[in-house]
Structure 1
Amino acid sequence: MNPGTAFLCAAAGLLITTAVKLWALRRNRRDPLLRAVTATLFVGALLFVTAAPPNLASINEIIGIPNIAAPIVYSIMTAFDGISIVLLIHWRGNDDARATLRQTRLCLAAYAIVMVAICVLFALGDAPVERLRDLDTYYAGTPWIREMILLYLVAHTVAAVTMTVFCLRWSRQVPGALKAGLLLISTGAICMLGYDLLKYTAIVARWLGHDWDTLSTDVAFSLAGVSAFLVSAGFLLPPIGQGAGSRWRALRRFRRLQPLWLEIRPEIPSTSPPPMPWWRPVERRLMQRERDIFDAVLRLAPWFDQATGAKVYALALAERSPSRLARSEADASVLARAVIQKGCVRPVVTPGNRWTLSSTEDSADLVAMSAAMLRSPRVEVTRQAMAPAEHGA
């Protein structure tokens, strides 16, 4: 794949992701972190689009000024650097909102000044010969153009060093997807540094009368695409990873609560909404399942038999079960008995002899009670003991 195609493919991926973030931004317009992420993705996509060699020629031709694409690309790269630092500032967070705002404004102002200076220096200089790949070295000795090139490289280097140091320090303090994202960003920033060093080397070589242009036109060009992609991927990985982790945990809980939900299913009123289909968000399906369980527990409470719960609890403890697991088995047995009793239209238990379910007070205990519904032999014994009463009814 040639560099131009690679740049356009990367731009397409970033634009699609930007569209997704824009949709989320509609519902959270005041979220500064989301705004910074969206801006970073969009500017990164714009950088890939404009930096592709075929597009450089098109920009020059459309505007009608030789090499006008250079200050445009340099300005977009500078904007990407500044917004990336701002995103890190908001991402890390600060108890002092004013300090965060002050740092953001300072960073944006500094890089905005650099962008204006790049355009002014290009206007002052003279670059009549179109150079799509080697402008940095071809005009390394041209007044004003030389200063423009060095200015964008220095701004780029400052951003690379800042991002590398910031991300490596922060990555030591956090785990998981956030740590991986920070390491990706720092790797991309190190590639940015490599890009700058190669550019500096090729430019200095030109000043000394040597031709090391390939370092700038080939190697550095490839590193630019890699660095921008790694930095963008690093910013995307934590929210994607955390979202995927959250959905996976919700799905596991949803499945683990199925035995309990199947047990209380006869108590779900026919007027209640039917279970959501599999393609609906798992968080909403889990919420519906838990709501069904809690509602059923409330309706079944008058049939909770204290004698059944105490018996199963004592048997579980006698077999050296942990007290929390024993309590879950007792609660599961009481609930299973109550479903049968209510279904057989048996009298309710007097208030003084009612068992109080404690497994519904803790999310882990609720899952443990669901597991007991499926695996506990004592719950099954309770069901079998109630079977004659069911047939008798």
Structure 2
Amino acid sequence: MSLVVYSAACFLGVAALLVLRKPRRALGDPLNASTCAAIILGGVCFICSAPVTLAAVNELTGVPNFGAPMTYSVISAFSASLLILLINWRGGPADRIRRWVCSIGIAYTLLIAGIITFFALADAPVERLTDLDTYYANTPYMREMIVLYLVGHAVCTLVMCTVCVRWSREVTGILRAGLRLIIAGLVLDIAGFEVTKMTAVAARWTGHDLDVLSTAVAPPAVSLGALVFSTGFVLPRLLPAALAQWRSFWDYRALAPLWTVLRGVPTAPKPSPPRWQLPRGRLYYREVRILDALLALQSRYDGQVRERAYEQAKRQGCAPDEAHLVAVAAMVVDAARQTPQAEDRAVTEPVDASRLPTSAFSDTGELVRLSKVLGRSPGAGATREGTVRASHG
């Protein structure tokens, strides 16, 4: 059991680190802050509920079952954080959000105070690490403490499930997918934790023994539910960034042919990029260097090379747009292959703005298209005479 809950706690910790990539910026946003708080408290819940942790806390404090009110209090705080997260995520007028957050904070603070008070009044001398809920189900004050934390968590899950179901009907795309994951996780929590725990406790009240529901079914069910609905919270926040990094990775690789042609062009010195970067940062530095090189070659562009390359590409069956890219690639390769001394050669025809490869300067997409032409036709326009050998496929 300890391994299951510790694994769930580790997963939630990783999720919190992903959301909290930039702590100062993240904590300044109520949504990010509440997301991190909820995920971290969820991880703390699992750590506190592990039998190994409970035994250590009980031994450290010298109070049998001291870990029980500690765990139940953390679960209640986690329930409150989920509701606050949902309110911030749903959005609305700031005053209304503030009122709801304050109301939830007060309600669950009173609930936690009640849990601690009932434990202080109860007599629970026998340490129970895995079956405390059922073992003390009929013990005065312990019974009330157990019911109180179960009811508090049940109210949270039912309210969240209702709100998420209604909200999922109003939205589409990744937000709807996230909400559906949250609903699935909450259903697992309700069915696998709340129902099983309450059933086992109620069985004790009626003189029956269904402890296996509380000790063997509830822990893995609640762990799985927490992982699913935490994924639902995190997915809409992280997936767009992950997809952007993925696109940047492929754009970075796609720019390799163009960078190979231009990397030897002298440009103004630039600060060295950090050694370790995500794909987006690597793409940025490569794009800046390519643009600098293209601008540095402006005085060497030969309009005749481009015109001959364009006509030859058209004769080979290229569409006008592709023929234009092939022609630009030919002119760039021709300019990049010139030696520095070639700038002093006699120019047979002046270069005007219309002959510059302006399509290569607009955005990443245009640079990638130009680079792909070079990748398909490494020798496109490579000769000074402007010969083109383009392959199409």
Output the TM-score relative to the length of structure 2.
Answer: 0.82
Deviation digits for residues 316-341 of structure 1 (CA, Å, limit 9, x no counterpart): 45666444333322322222233345
Query: Are 2:287 and 2:364, in contact at CA under 8 Å, matched by a contact in 1?
Result: no
Query: Are 1:303 and 1:354, in contact at CA under 8 Å, matched by a contact in 2?
Result: no
**Partners of 1:153 and 1:79 in 2: CA distance:** 13
Partner of 2:156: 159
Query: Are 1:305 and 1:354, in contact at CA under 8 Å, matched by a contact in 2?
Result: no
**Which range moves more in the overlay, 65-74 or 234-243?**
234-243
Partner of 1:130: 127
Q: Is residue 2:147 matched to residue 1:150?
A: yes
How many aligned residue pairs are there? 381
Q: CA deviation at 1:231?
A: 3.4
Q: CA deviation at 1:351?
A: 5.1
* 1:87 counterpart (67, 71, 85): 85
One-letter amino acid of the structure 2 residue matched with residue 118 of structure 1: I
**Structure 1 residues 93 and 341 mapped into 2: Cα distance closer, same or farther (>3 Å)?**
farther
Partner of 1:38: 36
Q: CA deviation at 1:267?
A: 1.6
Query: Are 2:19 and 2:238, in contact at CA under 8 Å, matched by a contact in 1?
Result: no
**Structure 1 residues 303 and 270 mapped into 2: Cα distance closer, same or farther (>3 Å)?**
closer
Deviation digits for residues 132-169 of structure 1 (CA, Å, limit 9, x no counterpart): 33332333344443332222212211222233344455
Q: Is residue 2:37 matched to residue 1:11?
A: no
Cα RMSD, aligned residues only: 3.3
**Partners of 1:11 and 1:150 in 2: CA distance:** 25
Query: Are 2:305 and 2:381, in contact at CA under 8 Å, matched by a contact in 1?
Result: no
**Structure 1 residues 274 and 154 mapped into 2: Cα distance closer, same or farther (>3 Å)?**
closer
One-letter amino acid of the structure 1 residue matched with residue 323 of structure 2: A
**Partners of 1:359 and 1:209 in 2: CA distance:** 80
Q: CA deviation at 1:95?
A: 5.7
**Partners of 2:199 and 2:87 in 1: CA distance:** 31
Partner of 2:45: 47
Partner of 1:390: none
Fraction of identical pairs, as percent = 36
Partner of 1:188: 185
**Partners of 1:16 and 1:374 in 2: CA distance:** 39
Partner of 2:56: 58
Query: Are 2:329 and 2:380, in contact at CA under 8 Å, matched by a contact in 1?
Result: no
* 1:201 counterpart (185, 191, 199): 199
**Partners of 1:303 and 1:96 in 2: CA distance:** 59
Unaligned runs of 5+ in 2: 388-393
One-letter amino acid of the structure 1 residue matched with residue 367 of structure 2: L
* 2:214 counterpart (205, 213, 216): 216
Query: Are 1:307 and 1:353, in contact at CA under 8 Å, matched by a contact in 2?
Result: no
**Structure 1 residues 380 and 67 mapped into 2: Cα distance closer, same or farther (>3 Å)?**
closer
One-letter amino acid of the structure 1 residue matched with residue 112 of structure 2: M
**Partners of 1:14 and 1:353 in 2: CA distance:** 56
One-letter amino acid of the structure 2 residue matched with residue 261 of structure 1: W
- Higher share of residues assigned helix: 1
**Partners of 2:365 and 2:137 in 1: CA distance:** 66
Unaligned runs of 5+ in 1: 388-393
Partner of 1:228: 226
**Partners of 1:312 and 1:238 in 2: CA distance:** 47
